[in-house]
């Protein structure tokens, strides 16, 4: 079946924007919000779930606990202290951060709480040393004006950002490393009411909210400073939360993919119900098939047996023959969903009967499993393998997921990939996730406070863009591009400190960097100091205009670590007028036959060959003017 047009699928999309604030210090201590260059102290923790006040466990917390991971934290002086290590109670709420959240509430016409209460939200994936994230509801209700249409606001919260994932321990995948420099950085979370419409119309909502936040000049910029969680649901499906969308072009792809995936799962459920499949027959029998697979020649199986306490379990699934591998749309199938599920237990060994024999597992081994599980012709099985303590959790999760397939789309949290797909992350959290913070008193918000902040509400986006365009004598399109980019602050710094034309700076920081990104290059290497250094060299005449994008490309490819290294590797140091004249004389001399034949008509050809030699070493306009002058003199003298 061909993939449907996402616009034809009846879906709703809700946004949660998580935006870092540009405060001088963190939310609950005086540490800097800057990113650490190096780390010093390390310590480890294993986090465990706790019961809510009603005695319930949060399902998302239980899922994370089942991974049995150890968290290794890396701290740096100045960016973390005993508060981040959970060895000291949190300090008072950062007043600058709270003020910013209140300003956003006023800008969105929301109802501000009379008292702000700090709450603890259980998170035991390792990203918080305490096992919870501190958050506070600042306002509710209100609306965002999107092209004359009001989009409702559900809530505005102020909360602390999580630790930064540094990666897994190379020797032990059960240990995950985190950097504490990001833990505690103030975030504002704005949740909007679900909206309907085409993906590009829905994207306009996120764009408008992002512009409102940036217009305040109170938010951090750069990759990772804003994250969008997207709640997608279609008719007949549950709400799926997709976390970690960072780019607007990625957002459209995520919405389209998730709409297609969910619609495919609904079609799978309809087919299962047509076959009158019962939940009672899913996982009603689980058998140990470790001994059978010890002799298997499968490379995947052999690798699992090289691990600690390896076991294999076979799960009976009544009536599912042909359904686990069934694809209503390309790439959408239950088997893939199960693969994503076990991957989050750090397991790579899951097989199902619709794809076997395959992967080195023989027909005889398949028949043995079918016999051991007493399967009928309409039945299926799933095999999961790995360390014993994880396989038990994974088998239970597989059974729950297959039962959920009868309902269509399960409520879950998924992570966005860079190419716009989504992968399973964890179950949706429940009501047992939140409870009061006992170390911080409530914060009253008076009418007098709000009246004082009314004058700090940011101007509308179009007014800000018009002001940028007028100030720097550029068109509105370029002004909006630099405003929407992550480079507005460094743009303003460069324009203030150099004589480089603002339009040139803006085009390099938007169009050229975007073009390089589309080639798959990472802009993370282009830090503000690096960018400022490039334009300082241009201003000083040390490099030519044409070399700016070449230097950016070299740095983004990680083929140079510094601006000087890039300039040296490219050979784009500016040359003197005498050196330029000599280089052009050589180009003319090498092509004298065509010069004599075409005269001034050879200018275009000569310019192309000159740029091949001089690109990045001299300004293109200067090269053209000098070349034209030389050619004009030569042609003129030949006519005398």
pLDDT at 581 over 80: no
Does 349 have pLDDT greater than 80? no
Name the percent of the chain lying above pLDDT 90: 62
Residues 566 and 594 in one domain: no
Asked if the structure places residue 555 within a domain, the reply is yes
Number of domains in the chain: 4
- pLDDT 10s digits, 313-339: 999 999 999 999 999 999 999 999 999
259 has pLDDT over 70: yes
Report the 10 Å Cβ neighbour count for 437. 19
Tell me the C-alpha distance between 112 and 137, whole Å: 9
Could you write out the DSSP letters of every residue in 472-539? HT--HHHHHHHHHSS-HHHHHHHHHHS-S-HHHHHHIIIIIHHHHHHTT--GGG--HHHHHHHHHHHH
Same domain for 232 and 305:
no
Shared domain check, 546 and 503: yes
CATH number of residue 355's parent domain: 3.30.1360.30
What's the CA angle centered on 133, arms 129 and 136, to 5 degrees?
150
Say yes or no to pLDDT of 342 above 60.
yes
Look at residue 611 and tell me whether its pLDDT is greater than 80: no
Given a cut of 60, whether residue 175 has pLDDT beyond it is yes
Residue 454 lies inside a defined structural domain of this protein: no
Q: What is the pLDDT of residues 444-459, one digit of tens each?
A: 999 999 999 999 999 9
Q: For residue 442, is it within any domain?
A: no
Task: Report which of 261, 266, 277, 384 is spatially closest to residue 320, judged by C-alpha positions.
Answer: 277
Measured between alpha carbons, how far is 623 from 581 in angstroms, rounded to an integer?
A: 9
- What distance in Å separates the CA atoms of residue 325 and residue 336, rounded to the nearest whole number? 8
For residue 587, what are the domain limits? 577-639
Tell me what the mean pLDDT of segment 14-34 comes to.
95
Chain-wide mean pLDDT for the chain? 88
In a domain, residue 450? The reply is no
Section 423-433 average pLDDT: 74
Beta partners for residue 245, in sequence order:
228
Cβ-Cβ contacts under 8 Å for 27 (sequence gap 6 or more): 93, 94, 97, 134, 158, 159, 160, 184, 185, 186
Binned at pLDDT 50, 70 and 90, residue 637 comes out as low
- pLDDT of 431 > 60? The answer is no
For residue 609, name the pLDDT band (cuts at 50, 70, 90): confident
Does a structural domain hold residue 441? no
Q: Is the pLDDT of residue 354 over 80?
A: yes
Q: Are strands 164-169 and 172-179 parallel, antiparallel or unpaired?
A: antiparallel
Query: pLDDT band at 200, cuts 50/70/90?
Result: confident
Which band of pLDDT confidence, cut at 50, 70 and 90, is reported for residue 429?
Answer: low
Say whether both 497 and 383 belong to one domain. Answer: no
Q: In DSSP terms, which residues pair with 231 in a beta bridge?
A: 14, 241
> Of 59, 190, 209, 202, nearest to 122 (Cα)?
59
- C-alpha distances (whole Å) from 550 to each of 496, 509, 560, 582 are 24, 13, 11, 24
Q: 443 in a domain, yes or no?
A: no
**Which of helix, strand or coil describes residue 361?**
strand
**Looking at the domain assignment, is residue 80 inside a domain?**
yes
pTM for this one?
A: 0.79
283 sits in the region (left: phi over 0; alpha: psi -120 to 50; else beta) called left
């Amino acid at each position: 079946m061909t993939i449907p047009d996402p616009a034809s699928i009846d879906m709703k999309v809700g946004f949660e924007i998580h935006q870092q604030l540009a405060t001088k210090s963190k939310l609950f201590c005086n540490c800097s919000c800057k990113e650490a260059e190096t780390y010093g102290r390390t310590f480890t923790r294993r986090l465990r779930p706790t019961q809510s006040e009603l005695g319930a466990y949060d399902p998302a917390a239980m899922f994370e606990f089942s991974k049995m991971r150890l968290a290794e934290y890396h701290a740096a002086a100045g960016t973390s202290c005993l508060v981040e290590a959970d060895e000291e109670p949190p300090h008072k709420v950062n007043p600058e951060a709270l003020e910013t959240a209140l300003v956003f509430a006023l800008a969105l016409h929301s109802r501000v709480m009379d008292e702000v209460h700090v709450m603890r939200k259980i998170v035991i994936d390792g990203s918080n040393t305490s096992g919870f994230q501190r958050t506070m509801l600042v306002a509710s209700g209100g609306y965002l004006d999107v092209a004359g249409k009001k989009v409702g606001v559900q809530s505005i919260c102020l909360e602390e950002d999580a630790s930064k994932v540094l990666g897994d321990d190379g020797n032990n995948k059960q240990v995950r490393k985190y950097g504490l420099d990001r833990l505690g950085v103030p975030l504002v979370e704005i949740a909007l009411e679900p909206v309907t419409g085409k993906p590009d119309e829905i994207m306009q909502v996120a764009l408008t909210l992002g512009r409102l936040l940036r217009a305040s000049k109170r938010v951090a910029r750069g990759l990772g400073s804003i994250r969008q969680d997207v709640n997608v649901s279609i008719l007949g499906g549950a709400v799926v939360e997709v976390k970690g969308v960072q780019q607007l072009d990625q957002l459209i792809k995520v919405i389209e993919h998730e709409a297609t995936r969910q619609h495919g799962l609904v079609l799978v459920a309809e087919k299962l119900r047509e076959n009158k499949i019962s939940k009672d027959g899913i996982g009603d029998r689980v058998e140990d098939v470790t001994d059978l697979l010890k002799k298997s020649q499968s490379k995947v199986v052999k690798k699992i047996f090289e691990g600690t306490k390896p076991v294999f379990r076979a799960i009976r699934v009544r009536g599912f023959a042909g359904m686990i591998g069934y694809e209503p749309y390309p790439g959408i199938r239950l088997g893939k969903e199960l693969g994503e599920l076990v991957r989050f237990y750090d397991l790579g060994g899951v097989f199902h009967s619709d794809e076997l024999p395959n992967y080195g597992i023989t027909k005889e081994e398949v028949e043995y499993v079918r016999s051991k599980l007493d399967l009928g012709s309409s039945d299926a099985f799933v095999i999961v393998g790995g360390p014993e303590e994880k396989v038990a959790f994974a088998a239970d999760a597989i059974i729950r997921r297959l039962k959920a397939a009868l309902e269509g789309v399960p409520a879950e949290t998924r992570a966005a990939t860079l190419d716009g797909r989504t992968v399973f992350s964890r179950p949706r959290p429940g009501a047992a996730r939140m409870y009061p913070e006992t170390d911080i008193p409530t914060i009253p918000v008076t009418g007098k406070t709000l009246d004082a902040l009314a004058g700090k509400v940011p101007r509308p986006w179009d007014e800000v863009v018009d002001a940028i365009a007028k100030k720097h004598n550029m068109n509105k399109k370029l002004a909006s591009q630099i405003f929407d980019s992550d480079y507005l602050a460094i743009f303003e710094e460069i324009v203030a400190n150099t004589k480089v034309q603002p339009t040139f700076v803006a085009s390099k920081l938007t169009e050229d960097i975007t073009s390089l990104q589309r080639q798959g290059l990472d802009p993370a290497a282009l830090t503000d100091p690096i960018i400022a250094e490039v334009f300082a060299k241009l201003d000083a005449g040390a490099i030519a205009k044409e070399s700016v994008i070449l230097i950016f490309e070299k740095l983004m490819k990680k083929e140079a670590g510094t601006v000087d290294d890039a300039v040296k590797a490219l050979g784009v140091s500016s040359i003197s007028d005498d050196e330029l004249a000599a280089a052009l004389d050589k180009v003319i001399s090498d092509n004298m036959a065509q010069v004599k034949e075409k005269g001034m008509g050879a200018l275009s050809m000569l310019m192309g060959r000159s740029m091949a030699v001089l690109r990045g070493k001299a300004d293109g306009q200067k090269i053209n003017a000098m070349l034209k002058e030389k050619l004009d003199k030569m042609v003129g003298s030949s006519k005398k």
